[in-house]
Structure 1
Amino acid sequence: MKKILHKVHLYLGLAIGCIFFIIAFSGAIYTWEPEIATIIYKQKVKPKNTSFVKVSTLKANMVKELPNGDFRGVLFQGRAKTANVLLYVPGTYYYAYMDPYSGQLIHLQDMKKGWLNILKMLHRNLLLGDVGKQIVHWVTLLALIMVLSGIVLWWPNKKFKRKNHFTIKWASRSVKLNYDLHNVLGFYASWIGVLVILTGVFWGFKSFRNVIKSTVTKKEIAYALPKSDTTVNFGTHNIQIMVDSLANNFLSNKPDTFMRISFPHKATDPIVMTMPDVLNRVHRTNNYYFDQYTGKLIQGKFENGLYNESSAFKTINGLTYDIHLGNLGGFFGRLIVCLTSLVMASLPITGFIIWFSKR
């Protein structure tokens, strides 16, 4: 069995090694997207003991800067960071990073341009569009097989040999050192790596998601659709005043809480207030819906509502993001995922050297 697995491991490694290196290495760097974005998009501001500017003021300022922009909403990130305004334009979308106290534009970023976006696309589709996306999905699936077979191959047949498989012999000659770097580092990284790769497979294959969904969902859940009541007399209706009121009421009490508020675009749309988790964990995000005419909280069980009311599958779906990006453990979680991805990126290199030296 090990001889067969060795062949599978070898040929898969030779076939997908280069592509897997690109996926893993770009993913390791992109793990630090929040920190990188804070620096390159100039999101740091000096905290002040004054109230935040109104959402309507941010919108009015952006109409001057980007007249064709469709204002979607704004994310407040506490007193020490910018207010991030989301705007759609044909073919792309922008984030405007604005001073939350004055409403002044600090940085305007086309989110489909810039090296950070290139890094993201390199990880997701190798910069090859839909074809590249399919390549990444299948390479991810094959990488899962390669990693699992590597764990089996690592496991020594003799119990007394096991202790030698847990440490790297740094004083060894280069061939043996490279072998240890592949075997030992690969073994330690594989346990986290399997989870990271599995979450990639979850996103890549709809059939896989459907199997998970059918397994954890006993019956279909009937969700309500949050809607504003259009029967209310709204002769003096002003969405901007309503959004300002809701945002100011919340931020005056919790200025350091992350909060995103989105504008309605249709007569029946509600005003959506989203509370991202402090660690940006997707599965713990809360969404609240307010009637755009009355400002009242809309009650009901919604598909994208409170995280503690989410279905098992929706929770799993959110956890895949948190595991893959490392957000589940905050800073240290992302550090672990980053180091794991770097080791995973090194395995095709050390593995190729092992194969080539034997030849």
Structure 2
Amino acid sequence: MSEKKKNKTFKYWVGRIHLWLGLISGLFVCFLGITGCILAFEREIENVTQPYRNLAVQNKPLLSPTALKKIADRALPNKHAHSITYQPGKSAQVVYYNFDPEYYYIVFVNQYTGEVIKVKNMNDDFFRIVIMGHYYLWLPPEIGQPVLTTATLMFVVLLFSGLILWWPKNKAASKQRFTIKWNAKWRRVNYDFHNVLGFYITWIIIFIALSGMVMGFQWFAKSVYFVSSGGKTLNQFEETYSDTTRNAKLQLNASAADQLWKSYLDADPKFNGSLDVHVPENEKASIEIAKNPDPETYWKADYSYFDQHTLKEIEVKHVFGKLKNATVADKIMRMNYDIHVGSIAGLPGKIIAFFASLIAASMPITGVLIWIGRNKKKKKSATAAQ
């Protein structure tokens, strides 16, 4: 068999794989691309359409975390607060959520006056609904997430098989691989759209797809960490507890969470990022404080954990600890969500992620049109031969 024949046979089977994986995963890929476009500018849209999130900075003292929690508790009785978030120019957010029974609320409070601005049931929030679809297809997580992540895995294979099919045979053919022939018939334009734009977005969408797989498949997340860390095991998060064996507790005028919060403010009074205070749910729980200098992303946040009885900082060895202690592998895990939505590169990154997701959503459609066109052409050729 000649070398030319081998190459043709190889591309033929790559084409078959590309076709059938595309037909199987096409609807899911289209869905993920469209919902990804909607979520790309979630924060920007929320800031415009939900004005209660914004609050002018005032020259007044801030209410403490426990004070805000008490105010929010009156608005949501019999619910357990998870955290209180402060950010200059934003309303304080007291977050409530639980899985048994399931609920997710945010109480927006004026951190200067204590006025409750909005009690929002996040299960009715538009973007929350879209996120649940994007992550779980609005099915139970144990069902929906594997389905969508498997479709994402198929899409990754489609990206690489598409590159093989796109690869030009010679220099003359390469001239047609980088531009769309807009003045041609619609079938040729559709073909070029699928191949040319597919080639360009591959180098962007591959990061979106792989970061989605990190969130969807634990085995994949562990594999990425294993490779990037040089053979270490991923410890993404573990519960951190206070030292409840101590009999003596601090005698404080305010709660331990308030004391820690105030120490953070005193240490950096001009801090312009976000500060999350996670109040302990019981005597065993620790106090978590997350200080993020860039609230538009997540990976730069410093997570510190303190014994609620002694205020002594608890050393942790998982990914979500102090940024200065994070290894390269830890930072890759921390950056994963920001890579997925494009915010890792700021507004330009979100714009790129938006258009890449939009084009990715179109790939199954243009691909099916190519397949239908080829089938019609084959039938016409068979009829003419008869």
Q: Is the 8 A contact 1:179 1:350 kept in 2?
A: yes
Q: Distance in 2 between matches of 1:257 and 1:8?
A: 48
- 2:270 aligned to 254, 277, 281, which one? 254
Specify whether residues 116 and 225 from structure 1 end up closer, same or farther in structure 2 by C-alpha distance, changes over 3 A only. closer
- 1:124 aligned to 122, 129, 135, which one? 135
CA deviation string 1:296-349 (max 9, x = no partner): 5x1635423212212444333223222112121122212211111111001111
Shift of 1:234: 3.0
- For 2:81, what is the secondary structure of its paired residue? strand
Structural mapping, 1:279-290, within 5 Å: 280-290=296-306
Letter in 1 for 2:43: P
Structural mapping, 1:50-129, within 5 Å: 50-78=60-88, 80-88=89-97, 90-129=101-140
Are 1:181 and 2:197 an aligned pair?
Answer: no
- For 2:277, what is the secondary structure of its paired residue? strand
Are 1:335 and 2:345 an aligned pair?
Answer: no
Q: Distance in 2 between matches of 1:207 and 1:275?
A: 30
Q: Is the 8 A contact 2:96 2:103 kept in 1?
A: no
Stretch moving more, 35-44 or 211-220: 211-220
- 1:243 aligned to 245, 249, 257, which one? 257
- For 2:299, what is the secondary structure of its paired residue? helix
- For 2:117, what is the secondary structure of its paired residue? strand
Stretch moving more, 34-43 or 341-350: 34-43
Q: Distance in 2 between matches of 1:300 and 1:210?
A: 22
CA deviation string 1:7-37 (max 9, x = no partner): 2112222222122101111012112222233
Q: Distance in 2 between matches of 1:3 and 1:47?
A: 63
Specify whether residues 77 and 163 from structure 1 end up closer, same or farther in structure 2 by C-alpha distance, changes over 3 A only. farther
Are 1:323 and 2:332 an aligned pair?
Answer: no
Stretch moving more, 260-269 or 192-201: 260-269
Shift of 1:259: 0.6
Q: Distance in 1 between matches of 2:192 and 2:295?
A: 36
Q: Distance in 2 between matches of 1:136 and 1:19?
A: 7
Matched residue, 1:164: 176
Q: Distance in 1 between matches of 2:182 and 2:338?
A: 35
Specify whether residues 123 and 106 from structure 1 end up closer, same or farther in structure 2 by C-alpha distance, changes over 3 A only. same
Q: Distance in 2 between matches of 1:117 and 1:153?
A: 38
Q: Distance in 1 between matches of 2:159 and 2:105?
A: 39
Matched residue, 1:17: 26
Larger radius of gyration: 2
Stretch moving more, 260-269 or 216-225: 216-225
Stretch moving more, 6-15 or 205-214: 205-214
- 1:48 aligned to 37, 46, 58, which one? 58
- For 1:72, what is the secondary structure of its paired residue? strand
Shift of 1:265: 2.4
Shift of 1:229: 6.6
Shift of 1:232: 5.8
Q: Is the 8 A contact 2:225 2:333 kept in 1?
A: no
Q: Is the 8 A contact 2:225 2:232 kept in 1?
A: no
* Identity %, equivalent residues: 29
Matched residue, 1:36: 45
Stretch moving more, 40-49 or 179-188: 40-49
Shift of 1:217: 4.7
Q: Distance in 1 between matches of 2:239 and 2:21?
A: 47
Q: How many residues in Structure 1 have an aligned counterpart in Structure 2?
A: 356
* Runs of 5+ consecutive residues of structure 1 not aligned to the other structure: none
* Runs of 5+ consecutive residues of structure 2 not aligned to the other structure: 1-9, 377-386
Q: Is the 8 A contact 1:217 1:312 kept in 2?
A: no
Specify whether residues 354 and 219 from structure 1 end up closer, same or farther in structure 2 by C-alpha distance, changes over 3 A only. closer
- 1:146 aligned to 155, 158, 161, which one? 158
Q: Distance in 2 between matches of 1:72 and 1:207?
A: 29
Q: Distance in 2 between matches of 1:279 and 1:60?
A: 25
- 1:300 aligned to 293, 315, 325, which one? 315
Q: Is the 8 A contact 1:224 1:300 kept in 2?
A: no
- For 1:278, what is the secondary structure of its paired residue? coil
Matched residue, 1:133: 145
Are 1:344 and 2:347 an aligned pair?
Answer: no
Could you say what the CA RMSD is over the residues aligned between the two structures, in angstroms? Answer: 2.6
Q: Is the 8 A contact 1:237 1:293 kept in 2?
A: no
CA deviation string 1:71-105 (max 9, x = no partner): 22211121x11111112353112111222222212
Stretch moving more, 207-216 or 69-78: 207-216
Matched residue, 2:382: none
Letter in 2 for 1:75: T
Q: Distance in 1 between matches of 2:250 and 2:191?
A: 76
CA deviation string 1:120-148 (max 9, x = no partner): 11111211223222211211111111111
